[in-house]
Amino acid sequence: MRKPPPPEPSGAADSSPGHPVMDAIYSFLSHGRFARALSVTILATAFGVHLLRSTMGWAGLNALLVSQILLVIMMILARRRMITWGPVVPISLALFMFWCFLSLVWTRYPEATWTGVVYQAAFAILGLALAATRDTIQLIRAVGDVLRVYLGLSLVLEVIAGLLIDAPIRFLSITGGLGDGGNIQGIFGGRNPLAVISLVALVTFAVEWRTRSVTSTVSIGSVSGASLCLYFAGSPVGWAALLFVAVVAGVLYALRALTPETRRTAQFIVASLGLLAVVAAWLSRTAIVVALSAGGVIDYRLDLWRNMWTLINQHLMTGWGWAGLWRPGTFPFSELDRLTGTTHRSGVNVYLDVWLQVGLVGLVLLIIALALAFTRGWQLASNKKSEAYVWSPLVLAVLMATGFGEGNLLIEWGWLIAVMIMARTSAELSWRKPKVLETP
């Protein structure tokens, strides 16, 4: 049986006597059930962006985002006595967002930068609101519920396209490859996004299983479905990230099994080995790239990255201006499309993409924000007994690892989840956290 969620204040006790209608609205907006329903709706919109954009267009998607932001604002106003914003909003995240906004000063494409900043801010606002009004286990349950439906729908549509009608579903970018043994896209627009989301789902379902948030039957079915999606996606990015996250999870659970005294020494050893691995990978980067390109796996990415690097060198520190999603027909993105012969919506590498758009300063700010969130999440996961704390560092590890071959971390669902994790870990361990709220 699913464990009942912890009791939440309805808000009625905090409201002062007033008009009955206003009291009813206040009670509705501040109630825990409304917060849960809104969190599921927000996550369903973020993960379903490609599906919604394909069926409703940009106008429909933007209307959904605006309406959700308005609902979030009303909910926060109703819950204002229960929210302490200081520790929830990481300074590192705020600085990165401010730098992206500041790029309006020097951007080569002001209209695209303005719309890109607003689009990025919309998902950031929603992510911060989720982190401020829901605890970690509640967020895990919401993500799990959404991904169960979306991955199940993806498999159903792939069976229809690949086995029943043997024809692509073009408006959803489903090619019907299941009949040939793989390379499916689901409702996410490509095999790589499907693989990354399947990895996030696997981590989420595993944590649900460990925390007994859902029944064993639901857990087994969920893990099996996510595994099928990952397998049939056939994404090299997904397989590499799976290996990386498996290693991270193994190390994390090994640390959790140690005594507190032993764990402190082990943490230092793990950090030192991790730093050595990063240095070794950087020194061996040429050999790694040659080995990968020899198999033809990343040839088109290498071609794009080489051309991106030429443009990065022209505006090394500040970049060309924030855009988020690339704009076809807008220089320098149009030039990169011309040189590679393919239309791109991102640089298929988060770190090079940020460097191109907001320069080395923006890249450093993003890395600091991610590193702080991962360190805080790792500290919580290795020291706290609850299995729920394991979710944040493992999901962030998925996003950071796949960021070397995909752009999910920067936009839409990936950005919302990253902001949500940054905010939740900051709320738990921020130095700005009031002592009365500290976790024992």
- Burial environment of residue 329 by CB neighbours within 10 A (0 to 12, 13 to 18, 19 or more): exposed
21-45 average pLDDT score:
84
Q: Report the percentage of the chain scoring pLDDT > 70.
A: 88
User: Residue 290 has what pLDDT?
Assistant: 59
Q: pLDDT tens for residues 164-179?
A: 888 888 888 888 888 7
- The secondary structure of 387-426 as a DSSP string is GGGGHHHHHHHHHHHHTTT--GGGSHHHHHHHHHHHHHHH
Quickly count: other Cβ atoms within 10 Å of residue 310's Cβ.
Answer: 12
Residue at token pair 């206040």? 26
Q: Can you tell me the distance from the alpha carbon of 255 to that of 5, in angstroms, rounded to the nearest whole number? A: 29
Which residues are CB-contacts of 60 (< 8 A; sequence separation ≥ 6)?
52, 53
Residue at token pair 């409201």? 15
User: Which helix (H) or strand (E) is 202 found in, with range?
Assistant: helix 191-211
**4 vs 162, which has greater pLDDT?**
162
11-25, 54-68, 336-350: range with lowest mean pLDDT: 11-25
Res 9 pLDDT > 90: no
18-22, 182-186, 261-265, 360-364: range with lowest mean pLDDT: 18-22
Res 83 pLDDT > 80: no
Can you read off the two tokens belonging to residue 440? 């024992």
Q: Can you tell me the distance from the alpha carbon of 439 to that of 262, in angstroms, rounded to the nearest whole number? A: 22
Confidence of residue 271 (pLDDT cuts 50, 70, 90): confident
Contact 226, 245 (CB under 8 A): no
Contact 146, 38 (CB under 8 A): no
Contact 191, 235 (CB under 8 A): yes
Per-residue burial over 311-321, b if 16 or more Cβ lie within 10 Å, else e, is bbeebeebbbb
User: Residue 14 has what pLDDT?
Assistant: 46
Contact 245, 375 (CB under 8 A): no
pTM score, whole prediction: 0.89
Res 435 pLDDT > 60: no
209-226 average pLDDT score:
92
User: Residue 5 has what pLDDT?
Assistant: 52
185-208 average pLDDT score:
93
User: Residue 413 has what pLDDT?
Assistant: 94
User: Residue 292 has what pLDDT?
Assistant: 55
What angle (nearest 5°) sits at the alpha carbon of residue 258, between those of residues 257 and 260?
A: 125
Confidence of residue 1 (pLDDT cuts 50, 70, 90): very low
Can you read off the two tokens belonging to residue 365? 């700010």
User: Residue 314 has what pLDDT?
Assistant: 92
Contact 283, 328 (CB under 8 A): no
User: Residue 159 has what pLDDT?
Assistant: 92
403-425 average pLDDT score:
91
135-149, 254-268, 316-330: range with lowest mean pLDDT: 254-268
What angle (nearest 5°) sits at the alpha carbon of residue 303, between those of residues 300 and 307?
A: 140
- The secondary structure of 244-267 as a DSSP string is HHHHHHHHHHHHHTS-HHHHHHHH
